[in-house]
Structure 1
Amino acid sequence: MTDDVDRIMAVMQAAFDPLYGEAWNRRQVEDAMVFGHTHYLLAGTDGEDSADDDAVGFSLSRYGFEEEELLLFAVHPDHRGKGIGARLLARFAETAKRRGARRLLLEMRRGNPAERLYRGFGFVQIGERPKYYRQGNGESIDALTFSCPLE
């Protein structure tokens, strides 16, 4: 797992803009992974499982009764626009469904460019938290919550 945390951290550090403060620190990732209801996937350059050092994407999620929440999701900027995110999102949904999830949840900041990917997959906005996130420059930004049914 330690090597996987290293790979997650490398992708996250490259993918998340520090202005928004969305990246977790190593301890937060490790602490989340201790729990049996937290799951992660790594993606190689083809979007499929990455069993070696070439991870270019990851997802981190938490399963609860019939729901799986996507906590973190990222593709390295050098590998965006190649369908990796779409394949990783599909893998995430499939593994969540196998665990018994009937719907997926996520929260993101307003203006997150990944919104197009999520909406294209079937996520719909179900809520908004005004001024929920504080940016590095001190300004606030809304959080948007989304849901996607699994059939």
Structure 2
Amino acid sequence: MTLTELREGGTQDLVEVSHIMEDAFDARFGEAWTGAQCLGMLSLPGVWLVIASLDGQDVGFALARVIADEAELLLLATRPSARRRGVAGALLRAVVAEAQGRGVVQLHLEVREGNDAVRLYRREGFEKVGERKNYYRGKMGQAFDAHTYARELR
């Protein structure tokens, strides 16, 4: 297995983040953000971006934010070619570590029902705490439920 390299990201990485999202998120589900949404979020206080690379190529990212003593994983994506190689797990653990370093006591995330990422979240200690019916809007107008997960960090 190739070692996943992680680095702090910034606005200079948003073009690559957009490319990763295009590859990672199936347009049928309406989960990807626009570049403008990412830029707007990244400009807010308490928001951070982690970029993952394999063999010198950026293959994934995580975007998160902290407010008071809680944090939220906003986006986590890996290119399909990098899946099942530990990239998403490394990104998630990096977000957890950063959140702990910022004094966060609980980390939240939201994921589409049926998303394979749920296995990773559960393996990393997240538990389902709620759901939003018909939250995501797909390309053809269909609705998908969102499930909310949380993990205590202390």
Relative to the length of structure 2, the TM-score reads: 0.89
1:14 partnered with 2:23: yes
CA apart distance, 1:133: 1.6
The structure in which a higher percent of residues are strand is 2
Figure out how many residues of one structure are paired with residues of the other and give that number: 145
> What is the rounded CA distance, in whole Å, between the counterparts of 2:131 and 2:139 in structure 1?
21
Structure 1 stretches of 4+ moved >6 Å:
none
Q: Which residue pairs with 2:132 in the alignment?
A: 129
CA apart distance, 1:2: 3.9
> What is the rounded CA distance, in whole Å, between the counterparts of 1:103 and 1:145 in structure 2?
13
> What is the rounded CA distance, in whole Å, between the counterparts of 1:140 and 1:5 in structure 2?
28
Q: Which residue pairs with 1:34 in the alignment?
A: 43
Q: Which residue pairs with 1:54 in the alignment?
A: 57
Counterpart contact for 2:11–2:42, Cα < 8 Å: no
Relative to the length of structure 1, the TM-score reads: 0.91
> What is the rounded CA distance, in whole Å, between the counterparts of 2:111 and 2:127 in structure 1?
12
> What is the rounded CA distance, in whole Å, between the counterparts of 1:75 and 1:55 in structure 2?
9
What secondary structure is seen at the aligned counterpart in 1 of 2:57?
A: coil
> What is the rounded CA distance, in whole Å, between the counterparts of 2:109 and 2:122 in structure 1?
11
Q: Cα RMSD (Å) of the superposition?
A: 1.3
Q: Percent identical across equivalent pairs? A: 39
Q: Which residue pairs with 1:49 in the alignment?
A: none
Q: Which residue pairs with 1:24 in the alignment?
A: 33
> What is the rounded CA distance, in whole Å, between the counterparts of 1:2 and 1:34 in structure 2?
8
What are the residue-to-residue correspondences of 1:110-149 with 2, within 5 Å?
110-149=113-152
Can you list the C-alpha shifts for 1:42-73, whole angstroms capped at 9, x where unaligned? 01127xxxxxx621110001111111100100
Query: Unmatched 5+ residue regions in structure 1?
Result: 47-52
> What is the rounded CA distance, in whole Å, between the counterparts of 2:41 and 2:11 in structure 1?
13
